[in-house]
Amino acid sequence: MTDKTRPVLLTGASGNLGRALAPALAKAGYMLRLTDISPFPDTVPEGASFTRADLNDGVTMLRLAEGCQAILHYGGISTEHPFEVVLGPNLRGLYHVYEAARREKARVLFASSNHAIGFHERPEGNGELLDADCAFRPDSFYGLSKAYGELMGRLYWDKHGVENLNLRIGSSFPEPVDRRMLSTWLSYADLARLMERFLEAPRIGHAVVWGASKNPATYWGKDHRDRIGWEPEDTADTFSDKVGSKVSGDPVTERYQGGGYTAMDYTRDKPSPKDAFALD
């Protein structure tokens, strides 16, 4: 698909992942339009431009997307907050992104999250890994907004043919900080390589990819990475001696894939059944 004469819109450019991706994609020759509600804290890469904007402003989002071949959507609330805080940028804002993509016939990379499926239990020992077609089991209002975002992508694919890849990011940081991240960590370098493969892929449709590096302790199995020809190169095992013993000590946090998000405001007396529709 790649046409480097057409720009790529990167929302959430001032966040940690946006700041890592902007210079990497600019170096790869992409013409970037960067946007965020917060100022861009770094030097804007050569060949890129930055516009401060609110995802709730649909008119501005349409204008920013004019002529774009793709939208890399990393914008919005990126951690757990009350529902009313999440509502605007993560639900209404995403609608504006997809409307812009529909108008411009652009594909969308949606930065989804493991928190859309966070109440699935962690595999024990050689337990069964979770495939990309698993049921949503969000662990927070933030995770719920990510499940909504993936379903928005399905709607716009089915109804309008808007291609989209939903990247269920595990834990994308410079390095893992605890034992859970030995399963969920995604290096910045693997993330940048994935973005390039997404932009270059001839055909995507509606797809889900687990956003994790090549971690032997992974929780996750099959996905649609073959559609973009991406395979991670880094591994969290490099840090196993450093963080392998670091656990929370909280039984809820340690039981579920979403980690600490599952324990926030948790009030059950006992775990919910593995079958989401079963009685206790």
Q: Does residue 129 lie in a domain region?
A: yes
Q: Does residue 252 lie in a domain region?
A: yes
Q: Does residue 99 lie in a domain region?
A: yes
Q: What is the largest CA-CA distance in the chain?
A: 57
CATH of residue 56:
3.40.50.720
Q: In what order do the strands lie in the sheet with 70-73?
A: 48-52, 32-36, 8-11, 70-73, 107-113, 164-169, 206-211
CB 143 within 8 A of CB 261: yes
| Residue among 142, 148, 188, 219 flagged as catalytic | 142
What is the per-residue pLDDT for 245?
A: 96
Which residues, 6+ apart, have CB-to-CB distance to 251 below 8 Å? none
What is the per-residue pLDDT for 123?
A: 94
Half-sphere exposure of 194 (CA within 13 A, CB side): 32
pLDDT, average across residues 163-179:
98
Q: Which residue from 219, 91, 201 is spatially nearest to 151, judged by alpha carbons?
A: 91
The tens digit of pLDDT for each residue in 160-170 reads 999 999 999 99
Q: Does residue 2 lie in a domain region?
A: no
Determine the structural domain holding residue 101 and report its residue range: 8-263
Q: Does residue 24 lie in a domain region?
A: yes
Lowest-pLDDT range, 4-8, 87-91, 255-259? 4-8
The tens digit of pLDDT for each residue in 44-100 reads 999 999 999 999 999 999 999 999 999 999 999 999 999 999 999 999 999 999 999
The tens digit of pLDDT for each residue in 210-237 reads 999 999 999 999 999 999 999 999 999 9
pTM given for the model:
0.96
Average pLDDT across the chain, whole number: 96
Q: Does residue 28 lie in a domain region?
A: yes
Q: Does residue 273 lie in a domain region?
A: no
Rg of the chain over Cα atoms, rounded to whole angstroms, equals 18
Q: Does residue 69 lie in a domain region?
A: yes
Number of domains in the chain: 1
Whole-angstrom distance, CA of residue 13 vs CA of residue 86 = 18
9 - beta bridge partners?
Answer: 33, 71
Based on the residue annotation, tell me whether 148 is a catalytic residue of this protein: no
